[in-house]
Amino acid sequence: MPPTLADPPTLEVADPEVALTLRAEREAQGLDRWDEVWNGVHILMPLPNNERQELATEIAGDVRQLFKPWGGRAYGRTFAGCNVSDVSDPSLDWRTNYRCPDVAVFLSHNPAEDRGSHWFGGPDLAMEIVSRGDRSRQKLAFYAAVGVKELFVLDREPWSLQLYRLTEGELQSVSVTEPGGEPLTTEAVPLRWSLTPTDPPSVAVAAAE
């Protein structure tokens, strides 16, 4: 039986010339925007569909609005996608190891460094919106290593929102909710998160009481 999108094959390119050509073609077409490099291995991530991009944009926008009474940008910065690397030496290529969360929140006291093209160090809060085959949960060890305090993983087949919290050096699952379920409260950023009972669901964000 041929492979399907539900069980995609793994493609390993052993020819360095083919690999360089493939990367150059993806860069030229703008398809590498969501690619990542894991310890020197280039990972070709699936392109986000419209729903995923809309979710990330809306969530980041909602968080920014909630930050306004608390000082806005002076309180924290929110991104719908950014590059996060653990390469500390500015003379080295940060692109040898980085990840791209769909949503990232950096509070003002976060020691992570904004280096223009990327962040050295992790956000206080990050979110991964799962696309088929994108390895979202395989990023937990990296996010823990760069100091991400809390991480959401948003699944869409079926819908659920799972919260991980940094505990003893590891991001451990602490709670999960489904559409119409109980909200989850983040500690790093005092907010309540839930999935609306709509079709399709959306992520609702409010200030924690």
CATH of the domain at 143: 3.90.1570.10
Predicted confidence band of residue 34 (pLDDT cuts 50, 70, 90): confident
Are residues 20 and 79 in contact, defined by beta-carbon separation less than 8 angstroms?
no
Predicted confidence band of residue 198 (pLDDT cuts 50, 70, 90): very high
For residue 99, being part of any structural domain is answered with yes
Weakest-pLDDT range from 26-30, 88-92, 127-131, 174-178: 26-30
* Interatomic CA distance for residues 98 and 41, integer angstroms: 10
Tell me which amino acid residue 66 is.
Answer: L
For residue 12, being part of any structural domain is answered with no
For residue 15, being part of any structural domain is answered with no
pLDDT digit string (tens) for 152-183?
Answer: 999 999 999 999 999 999 999 999 999 999 99
DSSP lists the bridge partners of residue 79 as 104
Q: Is the pLDDT of residue 117 over 70?
A: yes
For residue 190, being part of any structural domain is answered with yes
Two tokens, residue 56: 């990330």
How do beta strands 119-120 and 84-85 pair?
A: parallel
For residue 175, being part of any structural domain is answered with yes
Q: What is the pLDDT of residue 92?
A: 96
Q: What is the mean pLDDT of the chain?
A: 91
Domain count, the chain: 1
Are residues 101 and 127 in contact, defined by beta-carbon separation less than 8 angstroms?
yes
User: How do the residues of the chain divide into helix, strand and coil, expressed in percent and rounded to 5?
Assistant: 25, 30, 45
Are residues 28 and 20 in contact, defined by beta-carbon separation less than 8 angstroms?
no
For residue 135, being part of any structural domain is answered with yes
For residue 18, being part of any structural domain is answered with no
Between residues 174 and 21, the one the model is more confident about:
174
Q: In what order do the strands lie in the sheet with 150-156?
A: 76-79, 103-107, 125-129, 150-156, 159-167, 170-177
pTM > 0.85: yes
Contacting residues for 41 by C-beta, under 8 A, at least 6 apart? none
For residue 26, being part of any structural domain is answered with no
Structural domain of residue 167, as residue ranges?
48-207
Q: What is the pLDDT of residue 2?
A: 46
Q: Is the pLDDT of residue 20 over 50?
A: yes
